[in-house]
Structure 1
């Protein structure tokens, strides 16, 4: 082993320690936040739920323009009007991100009518809440197209221009279920796990691209129409997240260039436990917490 390799081996633990200390200081002390005054934000699934709150929060934090994509024009129009009343320029386009051709076509329209997108929020998602045996193939494909492939297509449509401008941010509103699956939502958990792997790879791939970053948000189940009826055993200990809080934390993560956000912070414990507990112990945790049966009462929006 030559001297250079020995030098790298000696410096490696020092670099790791430095990164840990830097992250600790950043967590304890307020850090500089990016100004959003020149940013053009596009939010998929922007007509309702978390997407609607994200649009309001970006407008509140001073984004130059907000663009909404979604499948339901009524919701998009209502949200767009609400944002416009705050003084922020807002546009909406009906677009199903599960349709590749539609994504590329509408991306072209956005560039022509509004301008270059500098912050892309991949928020659109569906969940069917059925077991694999009870789900029809079309429903499974729909989930994969919207939750996973749609994110590929939107990123492919807007990221190249961000790289040219050396200014951009790609955000994925994912789920803690991408790291810890539950029964009764196999299509959702699988698609979100795939989405998480995509974002993790993309985040690493953009390390040497100045001005362009990524954020992956991993929330516990949120109090929106999508997860209506989902029940855990101890709701006082594990209450559903307020979508406004998710939106606020997401926008703050973009402004501070934070790569991964887990909500609430207690979900970190679950991820850690999964790394060393035997499967039998994890099964008992799922049963005790109610995660094993939480989708039995699901009746949310798909």
Structure 2
């Protein structure tokens, strides 16, 4: 073993401890937040739910332009009118992120009519809320195409220009269910786990790309019509998140260049417990929390 290799082995744990201590100190200090006044933000699924609140929050924080993508023109138009009231230039385009050709076509239209996108927010998602055997095959495919593959197409459409400009940010609104799945939402949990792997790989791949960052947001159950009817056993202990809270934390994470955001913070403990607890103990946690039956009353969007 040569000296260079030996020194790397010796200093590796020192570097790890250093970065852990550095991150701990930064948690106690106020973070520096960058301005958004020159940013052009595109939000998929921007017509309603978390997407609508994200658009509002980016506008409140001074984004130069906000672009909304979605499949329902009525919702997109209403949200666009709300954003315009903040004094922010807002545009909307009908686009199905599951359709690769549609994404590339609308991305070209956006560049020609609005300009270069500097912040891409992959928010569009669907959930059908059924077990595997009760799920329609087309619905299962739809979840994977929108929740996972849509990220591939939108990121391929806009990331190259961010790399050229050496300025940009890719955001994913994921879910804690990507790391702690529940029964009754097998399509959603699977697609979100794939989406998380995509973002983890992308984040590492961009480490040597100056000016371009990533943020992955992993919230607990959020009170939107998308998960209408979902019930937790102890709502006082595990209250659903407000979509405006998720939006505020997401925009703040972009401004501070934070890679991963767990909401609420107690979700960190859930992920840690899962890493070493036996399966029987994890099953007891699920039984106690009521996650086995939380989708029994699921209705989704009406």
Task: Determine if the TM-score, normalized by the shorter chain, exceeds 0.5.
Answer: yes
SS across alignment from 2:296: helix
Instruction: Report the alpha carbon displacement of residue 212 of structure 1 after superposing the two structures with TM.
Output: 0.2
SS across alignment from 2:91: strand
- How far does the alpha carbon of each residue in 1:145-201 deviate from its partner, in whole angstroms, 9 at most, with x for none? 000000110000000000000000000000000001000000000000000000000
When normalised by structure 1's length, the TM-score is: 0.99
SS across alignment from 1:233: coil
Instruction: Report the alpha carbon displacement of residue 25 of structure 1 after superposing the two structures with TM.
Output: 1.2
- How far does the alpha carbon of each residue in 1:78-111 deviate from its partner, in whole angstroms, 9 at most, with x for none? 0000100110000000111111111000000000
- Report the Cα distance in structure 1 between the residues aligned to 2:91 and 2:269, rounded to whole angstroms: 40
Any stretches of 5+ residues in structure 2 without a counterpart? none
- Report the Cα distance in structure 1 between the residues aligned to 2:163 and 2:62, rounded to whole angstroms: 23
Aligned residue pairs, count: 302
- In the other structure, the counterpart of 1:140 is 140
- In the other structure, the counterpart of 2:12 is 12
Instruction: Report the alpha carbon displacement of residue 50 of structure 1 after superposing the two structures with TM.
Output: 0.3
The answer to whether structure 1 residue 72 and structure 2 residue 72 are counterparts is yes
Instruction: Report the alpha carbon displacement of residue 115 of structure 1 after superposing the two structures with TM.
Output: 0.2
The answer to whether structure 1 residue 112 and structure 2 residue 101 are counterparts is no
The answer to whether structure 1 residue 228 and structure 2 residue 228 are counterparts is yes
Q: Does the 8 Å CA contact 1:127/1:301 hold for their aligned counterparts? A: no
Instruction: Report the alpha carbon displacement of residue 7 of structure 1 after superposing the two structures with TM.
Output: 1.2
SS across alignment from 1:77: helix
Instruction: Report the alpha carbon displacement of residue 241 of structure 1 after superposing the two structures with TM.
Output: 0.2
Q: Does the 8 Å CA contact 1:184/1:296 hold for their aligned counterparts? A: yes
- In the other structure, the counterpart of 1:275 is 275
Any stretches of 5+ residues in structure 1 without a counterpart? none
SS across alignment from 2:295: helix
Q: Does the 8 Å CA contact 1:218/1:263 hold for their aligned counterparts? A: yes
1:253-292 alignment runs, 5 A limit: 253-292=253-292
Runs (4 or more) in structure 1 with deviation over 6 Å come to: none
- How far does the alpha carbon of each residue in 1:5-61 deviate from its partner, in whole angstroms, 9 at most, with x for none? 111112111111111111111111111111111000000000000000000000000
